[in-house]
Amino acid sequence: MECRHLDDLYELYLLGALGVSERSEIHEHLRADCPYCTERLRQAALTVYFLALPDRKVRVPQPLKAQVLRRLIKK
């Protein structure tokens, strides 16, 4: 597949920021396991991960942890 014209779009695709036609084009390449697009998306995902995930952590109260784990173990 010829994909270089998509080079500027991978981060925007992962963010859901593209219009329908550009989004659909990358979608088709991803569905077809296009190796170029998969590799580019992996690089783009690093950028999106860095931008979205904050440095800070929130303390998780012990009762909340217990509730969540109990629910998970039940399932």
Partner 1 sequence: MHEDLFARAEAGDEPALDEIFDRLAPRLLALSARFGSTPADDEQILGDLFYGLLKESRRFRRHGGSATAWLAFAVRTGRIEKRRAAAHLPRAWPPRQNPLRISLAWLPRPSDIARIDERRDLLNKVLRHLPKPQMQVLEMAVFDGLTESEIAEKLKQPLGMVAAELRAAFRFLRHRMSAILGTWNAGI
Contact partners, residue 23, CB within 8 Å, separation at least 6: 13, 16
CB 69 within 8 A of CB 43: no
Chain residues 46-75 in contact with partner 1, contact rule CB under 8 A:
46-60, 64-65, 67-69, 71-73, 75
Question: Shortest Cβ distance from residue 48 to partner 1 (Å)?
Answer: 7
Question: Shortest Cβ distance from residue 6 to partner 1 (Å)?
Answer: 11
Q: CA 13 to CA 28: how far, in whole Å?
A: 12
Residue 41 interacting with partner 1 (CB under 8 A): yes
Residue 13 interacting with partner 1 (CB under 8 A): yes
